[in-house]
Chains A and B, each alone.
Chain A
């Protein structure tokens, strides 16, 4: 059973468009949701994170929209740039349990110039 699910394995957008990456989860105990960005040959790097008490978190061109009732969230990348081309992982953890992060399978984003 996949606890964190990313619906799209890949996504292609044009430069300047808004890329929308979706994520859903199973465990109601999850209350912390970071998104990680990974380039080939590198480790994942934290991009932005949200806690379940919020429904929106914004940081520059990156915004997380969170729907606790529906158990889903999305990462919006505004004004996408070719340098944003990478794999994006949605992750989740529960304050009440182990500190381990449960990762989705990732969405490979390609931004075409």
Chain B
């Protein structure tokens, strides 16, 4: 079990460019979560999918951010027209079916917008 895999581990983009972050959840896990971590804001929930369907995106900035889960083995988080304030560690996590089960996090993608 390789755990939740996130690629790339580090990404540097210029202001205004697009960034796509990839996540491969643990096989068999039906829930996939995206969080953002910064020193100032801490761990912030962005969105989550259950059985590939978007369930709650209440934490997603309404403009420029989008997430997809085209199949059960990967999810993407796309940020259009990146801004310096988007710089953060983006964490993907997955959990098995059922509420309040253990959520496993990946190592994260550190996004730096210059």
Binding site for B on A (CB under 8 A): 31-32, 34, 36, 41-46, 49, 51, 89, 93, 95, 98-106
Contacts and interface: CB of A to CB of B under 8 A. Distances in A.
22 contacts: A31-B100, A32-B99, A43-B4, A43-B93, A43-B107, A44-B91, A44-B105, A49-B102, A95-B100, A98-B48, A98-B58, A99-B31, A99-B48, A99-B55, A100-B33, A100-B45, A100-B59, A103-B42, A103-B43, A104-B42, A106-B42, A106-B43
Nearest to A33: B100
Contacts of B56: 98-100
Interface residues of B, number: 24
Contacts of A51: 100
Contacts, number: 57
Given A99-B48, A101-B45, A42 B99 contact: no
Given A100-B56, A100-B59, A46 B45 contact: no
